Structure 1
Amino acid sequence: MRPAFRASVQAPQTSILSPHLRVATYNIHKGVRGVGSRKRLEIHNLGLGVEALDADLVFLQEVRHFHHREAKHFERTWFGWPEQGQAEFLAPEGYEVAYRTNAVTKHGEHGNALLSRWPIGDIGHHDVSDHRFEQRGLLHVPVQWQGHRVHAVVAHLGLMHASRVRQVQRLAEFIAAHVPPNELLVIAGDFNDWGEKLDAPMREQGLARAQSPSGSGRQATFPSRLPFFSLDRIYTRGLRCVATQVPRGTSWARMSDHLPLVAELELI
């Protein structure tokens, strides 16, 4: 049983036979909010939130595989720390799960995950750490969607602009080496691009940012309580965006410091 959660998400335009691929990206902040005595476990609410997104592909960042100290801290709470890794715990029924670790710490580890309604292939991981203080990686998962292979790449880039520029270059090298040029590609995650400077180098790699065709409305996702920055992004190749949404409301604002970004995509 999970705690009550009221989600405010538009009805999906996708179904198993729909021409649209519905994708979401969400930095879940390791399933915990607050500090000290005000620290609270949000992973159970996040499970309901992920399910409410009803996305074909969910790109997750800051996902705990395990953390001994947090598990002990929350062991006497009503719901408690999940026995599974967070990626498996958050996956709606019937979804396949891919997870790879980016960072190993004293008490545990965390990384990126992909939850997929569609069958997945071999899971790949590429280290793009720019310095020893930030461990970063790309999670690469091929997905079979309605007779097409979609290469899903979950990204979480660094906190410094120079690092992000170098990581985009490494991303380009990874794509050239591992993604055939005629196959579909979706790259999503937390790009930490406060100054909106990465769209140009991503376009140079043939990647278009998923934005509403009308151009109306900002895709601000951070901070969740008063979103101003568009840190969470979806970039595509071979697909066009027909709609975007950032779910908002009190429930979404309390679960993570980021809001999710959802996009409806179709073949070009």
Structure 2
Amino acid sequence: MNSISVLTYNLHKGMSPLGGSVRLSQMAAALQQLDADVLCLQEVQGRHQRRQLRHDGWPQHDYLATALARQACYGMNARYDHGHHGNAVLARFPLAMAANHDLSVNRLEQRGLLHTVVQPPGWPQPLACLCGHFNLLAHDRRRQYRVLLDYLAQHVPPDMPLILAGDFNDWRSEADRHLLAEGGLQEAHASVHGRHARSFPSGLPLLPLDRIYIRGLHVAEVTVCRGAPWSALSDHLPVLARLQLAS
């Protein structure tokens, strides 16, 4: 296997853009068409007391893993009386490990970083896949970047190829400066197209919130999935990249 495809997508808890209806089965069908090797998903709902009585699909990471024939791991971040949600990684390859690291910096936004390791067939070494969801306020995100960079320095060997994908909530593109300078991470879409993928809101994408950062990898191609059916599913659009090991 010379390359792998990686997708990042905020599921919006499996709901339509305005939250009026469940769209999880339609999301599964659309994701099946893309057939990504690794999926980094945010706002994945592990439990919702009322919705799961009326609809199939909970826990959402298990539902999608079955629909897409992938292995799955889930990191619970936000807890509430009737349920919880967090990040999930789904992979075509065996997941060698999964660890959830708390990125919360205040009581209002419960955020996390899900760290997994996969072994693509034929690759000489494993691949670290990290899925994150970051805060809405810039000063909170700066604190989270510090936590993130410290975590990478401690838990990911510098010679291991790495993917960091997720919802960065970073419309000012501040993350690049922090992640490149100290972590050596480059953003996939910006490295190819000169700017980040505009992925939010899905019906009229203006803000570049969803990213795939890489280290030790080369971007063969990268795109944001626009139009039907994606504009009627979540409030975010997926970003899909094909990546190769750097020579």
TM-score range, shorter chain: over 0.9
2:161 — aligned with what? Answer: 184
Going from structure 1 to structure 2, the CA distance change for 1:214 and 1:98 (only over 3 Å counts) comes to closer
Name which of 87, 106, 131 aligns with 2:61: 87
The residue type paired with residue 45 of structure 2 is R
Out of 5, 13, 21, the position equivalent to 1:40 is 21
How far apart in 1 are the matches of 2:146 and 2:45? 27
Q: 1:217 to 1:52 in 2, by over 3 A?
A: farther
- Kindly name which structure, 1 or 2, has the bigger radius of gyration based on alpha carbons: 1
Q: Distance in 2 between matches of 1:162 and 1:111?
A: 22
Q: Does 1:27 align with 2:10?
A: yes
SS at match of 1:177: helix
For the 8 Å contact 2:45–2:84, the answer to whether it is kept is yes
2:129 to 147, 152, 163: 152
TM-superposed CA distance for 1:57, in Å, is 0.4
Q: CA shift at 1:214, angstroms?
A: 4.9
1:200-236 deviation per Cα after TM superposition (whole angstroms, max 9, x unaligned): 1010111011026652675110000000111000001
**Which segments of structure 1 move beyond 6 Å, counting only runs of 4 or more?**
none
Note if 1:129 corresponds to 2:107.
no
Q: Give the C-alpha shift of residue 193 in structure 1.
A: 0.1
User: Counterpart in 2 of 1:52?
Assistant: 33
Residue correspondences, number:
242
3-state secondary structure, aligned to 2:127: strand
RMSD: 1.6
In the TM superposition, 1:56-205 aligns within 5 A as 56-72=37-53, 75=54, 80-82=55-57, 84-91=58-65, 92-146=67-121, 147=123, 148-204=125-181, 205=183
Which consecutive residues of structure 2, in runs of 5 or more, have no partner in the other structure? none
How many angstroms apart in 1 are the aligned matches of 2:224 and 2:175? 20
What are the equivalent positions in structure 2 for 1:202-213 lying under 5 Å apart? 202-204=179-181, 205-211=183-189
In the alignment, structure 1 segments of 5+ residues that lack a partner are 1-16
Counting aligned pairs with the same residue, the percent is 38
1:262 pairs with one of 236, 240, 244: 240
CA pair 54-34 structure 1, distance change in 2 beyond 3 A:
closer
TM superposition shift of 1:50: 1.6
Compute the TM-score of the two structures, normalised by the length of structure 2.
0.93
Pair 1:234–1:127, CA change in 2 (3 A): same
Kept after mapping to 1: 8 A contact 2:17/2:234: no
Q: Where does residue 230 of structure 1 map in the other structure?
A: 208
Q: Structure 1 residues 229 and 145 mapped into 2: Cα distance closer, same or farther (>3 Å)?
A: same
